[in-house]
Amino acid sequence: MEKTRNILFWLGQKEEREILNDELKHVEISLKCVEEMKNAVECFVKGKIEEKNTHIANVKNFEHLGDDIRKKITLELSKGLLFPPDREDLLILNEGLNDIADGAKGIARLLEFFEEKITEDMGNSLLSFSIITLKAGEKLKDAIDSLIKNDIQKLLEDCANIETLEEEGDDRRRELIRELIKENLSAPKAILLYEIIDTMENLTDSIKKAGDLVRILGIKSK
């Protein structure tokens, strides 16, 4: 029974490999959302409003592409080619990758309403947080690639790196809250900036959760 549950049973099958490759495409698109979100934050910090709006539009476009991939994977998994537990794991991962794209879009949408200048310290901390999030997304892509290659040791290392980056993100959030208290902003703008910070933390958490799911799949393949 354990042999038939082993993910290696289906990993080499054409249909199942295609699903994993689609998951890799999905994380690549989600990563593009995070990258464009980071670019939008950078332009916001530097006061480049037009460029900021261009990157925000890019986030929305990539999120739409990712949603199409999510639907395709869900349809493939609904055909029942895999054992139910494996199918469930991949469905949850599929939704987790979608949460990453949604989180990046959420930050981008909030940035649309924010054109006021913030202090240099706040700007640098906010940009640093977005870079941490992007690095975590890149490690998630590496982890899924390692899963496809059945390089479980590398996968576990990638997931450990995601955890470290998520902890750095938690530290950066606390720094940002301290900086926010010092900002000379109107109450609505202070609330909006808090929402941006909070959504960025949630995005980093979503990346970690997806990494945890990839690790589960990797451990099952051992």
Q: How confident is the model at residue 42 (pLDDT cuts 50, 70, 90)?
A: very high
pTM of the complete model: 0.88
Whole-number pLDDT of residue 11: 44
* Full 3-state SS string of the chain: CHHHHCCHHHHCCHHHHHHHHHHHHHHHHHHHHHHHHHHHHHHHHCCCHHHHHHHHHHHHHHHHHHHHHHHHHHHHHCCCCCCHHHHHHHHHHHHHHHHHHHHHHHHHHHHHCCCCCCCHHHHHHHHHHHHHHHHHHHHHHHHHHHHHCCCHHHHHHHHHHHHHHHHHHHHHHHHHHHHHHHCCCCHHHHHHHHHHHHHHHHHHHHHHHHHHHHHHHHHHCC
pLDDT of residue 75: 83
Q: Residue 4 pLDDT > 90, yes or no? A: no
What percent of the chain has a predicted confidence (pLDDT) above 90? Answer: 64
Given this model, what pLDDT does residue 191 score? Answer: 94
**Domain locations in the chain?**
2-220
Q: What is the CATH number of domain 2-220?
A: 1.20.58.220
